Amino acid sequence: MKRLVAPGLIILALAALALWGVWQKAPQPAAQAIVCTDPVAGCVFMHNGAPCRLRFSAPPEALKPFALSLAAPNLGQASVSFRMLGMDMGITRYELRQEASGNWAAQVTLPVCTASRADWEAELNLDGRLYTLAFITR
């Protein structure tokens, strides 16, 4: 009986690993694109039937902090991550915190791109729904 414990644990671990792999490959919900020409002026989009406004405090630049603010009614939680398509930019995820005004905000700093690219995409996660905003840095 003791000889069966180790192989049984190995089989159990492999089955758990296989299930985790299937879960990782499960389709993610599609993100809705936010069409916006100037995030500093503000971008308006709809979330759960209500208008929301996303705004950058300054034109985004690498290594220069800027504030990201979001006015969104009846929101439970919000985060934003930044990426460049086809390039690993590390972990750039920020939790937005609700302020006394009811707006949500985060202080953001983008990393430097070693390939001198300036095309970014912000991915907002609002209560599990995804929104993307393409923008360019200086």
Q: What is the pLDDT of residue 69?
A: 97
pLDDT for the residue 13:
72
CB of 124 within 8 A of CB of 54?
yes
Convert the pLDDT of each residue in 16-38 to its tens digit. 666 666 666 666 678 999 999 99
pTM for this entry = 0.76
Kindly give, in sequence order, each residue whose CB lies less than 8 Å from that of residue 106, ignoring residues fewer than 6 positions away.
67, 68, 80, 94, 95, 96, 97
Which parts of the chain register pLDDT below 70? 1-2, 4-5, 8-9, 16-28
Distances from the Cα of 28 to the Cα of 11, 55, 129, angstroms: 29, 26, 10
| Calpha distance 39→41 (Å, rounded) | 5
Query: According to the model, what pLDDT value does residue 25 have?
Result: 63
**pLDDT at position 94:** 97
132 touches 118 (CB < 8 A): no
What pLDDT was estimated at residue 116? 85
Please say whether the dihedral angle defined by the alpha carbons of residues 92, 98, 101 and 103, taken in this order, is positive or negative: positive
- CATH of 31-136 given 3.30.70.360, 3.30.930.10, 2.60.40.1930, 3.40.190.10: 2.60.40.1930
For the record, the structure tokens of 111 come out as: 């990393």
